[in-house]
Structure 1
Amino acid sequence: MPAASPTLAAALIVRDEARCIVRCLESVRPWVDRMVVVDTGSRDETPLLARNCGAQVHHMPWPDDFSAARNHALTLADADWALVIDADEWIDAGGEALRRWCAGPPRLGAVCIHSSYDPPEGTPAGGALPEGRSWIPRLLPRGVRYAGRVHEQPDSPLSLARTGLHLGHDGYREAQAAGKRGRNEPLLRRDLQDHPGDPYLLFQLGKDAEVRGAHDAALESYGPALARAPMDAGWRHALVVRTLHCLGQCGQLETALDLAERELPAWQESPDFFFVLGNLLLDRALADPAQAVGHWLPLAGTAWERCLAIGERPDLEGSVTGRGSHLARHNLEVLRSQLARFAA
């Protein structure tokens, strides 16, 4: 008899996700054998909506530990493979490839998560939302479990490979993020007590502060994270770009430009690096009007031209859609129109 096909389950932990749980489960249902939802204390209709979508719904008190909750969901899933997905995510592309992936050997499957953000203030209505991309291990073979109270990671020696699965994510939009603000910081600080100086935890703590607009606080974590981050860590790209951005937001332009000069050899093919560098050079021009037209603004233009020459790099951790295309092109058009006015 032919061997049975590997089983695949979706595993979710949820609380008060009535806004989006149906979207998530409807996107997942065609590709998995079952959907397991662990509710940690919803006060809305999340459990009912999940059941109506065909999910098995279980309940547990919130353990103040994301790994503990995820591991409970994985145990209940009891499948050869588990797709770990959040309620504010959905399968955007690649679902048809899941079965082929699961027919292969055990390894950790990284999926590409496309996170949308609110546009910067003053952006014309109707345009595309800014989008960041991250590759995160979410397709796990049986027996793999998580570690870490927050920003949990699979605790496994298995190799990591990228799948063809793409997830949309809107949980960073202001309307959604407001209710969860401040949730992660105490958990990250507890993890740092257990693992002092861990660069990945410091990076996540800084990112948590940055998304709240606390750029000074973010730098307090990004600085030591950058000093300790392995050069080959995939998330180091996002750390460098975010650090440069926060330095610019805090007016530390010289420090930012010094860091950019040191990091330049490593990021010759990163549109995100050159996009943020262009922004820093523009800020430097505003701070030094006497040399703006003759020095700083042309340098900013060169940085944005480099973005377009590189193009989009969705493979880079934390890359933002548009920095290798329309966002850089827009900045260049504005810059050139302003330089033409000075020359007139």
Structure 2
Amino acid sequence: MKVPTISLCMIVKDEERCLARCLDSVKEVVQEIIIIDTGSKDRTVEIAKHYTDKVYSFVWTNDFAEARNYALSYATCDYILHLDADEFLDGEADFLKDELNKDYYFLRIRNDIGSGMAEVHQFVRLFRNAPEFKYEGALHEQINIIKHSDRSHSFLDATIHHDGYLEHIVQDKAKSSRNMNIIKEEVRKNPNAFNYYNLGMQLSNDNHPEEALKALQKAYELGKEFSYAARILLYIMKCLTDLKRHDEAIQIGRDSSMLYPMKADFQFKLGLLYEHYNYFEDAILCFHNCLDIGEDREIIQFNHIEGTGSYLAHGKLAELYLKRGDHTSAQKHVLLGAQEAPDLIFLIKIFVDLHPTLTGVDFVEALIKIWPFTKSGRVEQIIAALYKLRHPGTVDLIKCYNVEPPSTVRAWLHIVEGNYEQAMMLLSDAQEIGTELRRDLLLISLLTRDVTLMREHKVVFNLRDKEWKWLLKVVTGVDNNLSTISNELEEIWSELCQDLMSIQKYDEVERLILINSNPILRYHMASQLFKKGFSELAVEVIVESPNRHDNTKIYALVVQILKNLNHIEDALHYAKLNYELNREFEYAYETLLLLVEQKMYDEADVVLLQMKEMNPSSEWVQTYTLEKVY
């Protein structure tokens, strides 16, 4: 029996970054490679000719389908395989050597969106070389399977990896403008659901949520029955969230969850919205619902965020349980999340917060138990994550595994080890000091009382003149108070407090406490002291503010510290103060729990009744009943 042959058909432009990787992943399993170049100015054509002599030029007409079909016109094999240059096939692509007998096949496409996260969907990427199979759509072109629903088809257990959605790659304003012009013309010529859907996505990606919302609502009105209708609803939720219309987004999420009860994406998005409002119980319920649903691997044209039914849900549960002070549950979900997705870097921060006093070999051993370094590059990946947190475990990991540290990390390593002169030299020689290295520059300047380098790189601090002068005085040890501070200075101060606590420079922390009485600056110091286990000192450091808004977060921190010290009556006092200042759900929730703990049930009933009247409505509150134990 004749084994079917395959033509790889591609259209490319300026793809020197990734074209070779794509072709290497498939060159052994396709019989023909056809590449259509639409006007490259880099080495794309030169690279393509190393793999095939079938490289052709095409004058761009603002129509992707036309370019794709031009590629098909050169194909001579039995089947067509469609790949983009920023994609590559998983493993050895042996699945293409299997017997092919269907008219078209769905392949899983995994879009890498960074930080260990990915968006996954199934799409027709392999089909018979037949006249009836042509691309349609000037943008987001595809084989119209609705026309061919009666033809035989199947799913191939294979993954196409795509990295073109990574932020540092996707930031191309010219390409965005081109796509917008194409899709607007498509909508004008054919105002159907799919074109409105593409217009809505493009507008959303270009940060025009109001216009995007209108386009997506029109798309859903015209295409409720189509396979991409669920994704339209997710984008509608995103637009409403971007517009800060969270109540409406939550309602859409609830309704969509009923329409699509087995799609974890809706429960996950709902959980994020509840978390935004600090509706912790509702958020926790949503993420547990995600785990109950599990991963959906048979999705046709419905983009699914990989992990919403598994490791991402575990990660969010770990975060929420940590905020609630339930370290046992948080640790459990960190372990489960890391087992399922070792590359999910945000779990590292939760792990560090769970073990604030763990250092040295103990820290490395605890880390290895969760993230075994069996994968190439894993050590370097975790070192980068720990450095971002300025965790001293970075040094321990580098020493244990004899890793050559990246140049950006070296100055900080010298600071940790007390080699201040070497740190200053490295920062002096740095070609550029951006926001990331600013932290190290400020830290070494404070430790050496030398502001020379700071003055040279004043622009990176982005402070008003008054704040800049104040910071210079603080660094050199001058007693100096500041009445108001900007968001920029607050961020810089918070990082400085974190970094000093991280490398255990407690004498410097004490000095900063003595020369500063600003309530917000004191708040950040107290927050770091509390995280490191110095609860009693944190209570002494923190002070009230004459500003009502500032007191909201100050009181919230005081409540957590006092609870940690088991001073429940005092914690309740500040929780009530905060609830009087802000009649919001999160402060009512904290007050309710403390009232119940103190067996003050009459007051708890009043607060619970008030919570039931709040918007957005909490499903947890509506079903919650006080268990009165006297």
**Normalised by the size of structure 2, how large is the TM-score?**
0.48
Q: How many residues align?
A: 319
- Unaligned regions of 5+ residues in structure 1, if any? 120-127, 286-295
Please point out which of 292, 295, 306 is paired with 1:312. Answer: 295
Equivalent position SS for 2:276: helix
Name the CA distance, whole Å, in 2 between partners of 1:278 and 1:91: 33
Confirm or deny: 8 A CA contact 1:93 1:165 kept in the other structure: no
Match of 1:164 in 2: 157
Matched, 1:192 2:192: no
More deviation in 256-265 or 152-161?
152-161
Name the CA distance, whole Å, in 1 between partners of 2:319 and 2:182: 43
- Listed one character per residue, the Cα deviations across residues 6-49 of structure 1 (whole Å, up to 9, x for unaligned) are 22110000010000000001111011001100101101110110
Name the CA distance, whole Å, in 2 between partners of 1:162 and 1:141: 14
Match of 1:293 in 2: none
Question: Which structure is larger by alpha-carbon Rg, 1 or 2?
Answer: 2
Higher strand share: 1
Equivalent position SS for 1:183: helix
Confirm or deny: 8 A CA contact 1:108 1:159 kept in the other structure: yes
Match of 2:610 in 1: none
**Structure 1 residue 330: Cα displacement:** 2.0
Match of 1:292 in 2: none
Confirm or deny: 8 A CA contact 2:26 2:92 kept in the other structure: no
Confirm or deny: 8 A CA contact 1:312 1:323 kept in the other structure: yes
Name the CA distance, whole Å, in 2 between partners of 1:40 and 1:334: 47
Confirm or deny: 8 A CA contact 1:247 1:256 kept in the other structure: yes
Please point out which of 33, 40, 56 is paired with 2:31. Answer: 33
Confirm or deny: 8 A CA contact 1:11 1:77 kept in the other structure: yes
Confirm or deny: 8 A CA contact 2:4 2:99 kept in the other structure: no
- Unaligned regions of 5+ residues in structure 2, if any? 326-559, 561-589, 595-630
- Listed one character per residue, the Cα deviations across residues 132-170 of structure 1 (whole Å, up to 9, x for unaligned) are 011111112112111111111214523543222310001
For 1:69-80, what aligned pairs fall within 5 Å after superposition? 69-80=67-78
Q: What residue identity is the alignment partner of 1:162?
A: F
**Structure 1 residue 212: Cα displacement:** 2.8
Match of 2:16 in 1: 18
Name the CA distance, whole Å, in 1 between partners of 2:319 and 2:240: 23
Structure 1's 309 and 55: CA in aligned 2 closer, same or farther, altered over 3 A? Answer: farther
Higher helix share: 2
Name the CA distance, whole Å, in 2 between partners of 1:205 and 1:94: 36
Equivalent position SS for 2:274: helix
Name the CA distance, whole Å, in 2 between partners of 1:264 and 1:109: 29
Sequence identity of aligned pairs in percent? Answer: 26
**Structure 1 residue 55: Cα displacement:** 5.2
**Structure 1 residue 78: Cα displacement:** 2.2
Name the CA distance, whole Å, in 1 between partners of 2:91 and 2:309: 22
Name the CA distance, whole Å, in 2 between partners of 1:246 and 1:4: 51
More deviation in 333-342 or 66-75?
333-342
Confirm or deny: 8 A CA contact 1:98 1:165 kept in the other structure: no
Match of 2:66 in 1: 68
Higher relative contact order, structure no. (Cα contacts within 8 Å, ≥ 6 residues apart):
1
Structure 1's 65 and 101: CA in aligned 2 closer, same or farther, altered over 3 A? Answer: farther
Name the CA distance, whole Å, in 1 between partners of 2:52 and 2:273: 50
Name the CA distance, whole Å, in 2 between partners of 1:183 and 1:177: 13
For 1:1-344, what aligned pairs fall within 5 Å after superposition? 3-54=1-52, 56-93=54-91, 95-102=93-100, 104-105=101-102, 107-119=103-115, 128=116, 130-143=117-130, 144-155=133-144, 156-157=147-148, 158-179=151-172, 180-196=175-191, 198-231=192-225, 233-285=226-278, 296-316=279-299, 317-340=302-325, 341=560, 342=590
Match of 2:444 in 1: none
- Listed one character per residue, the Cα deviations across residues 238-273 of structure 1 (whole Å, up to 9, x for unaligned) are 222222122122111221122223222222222111
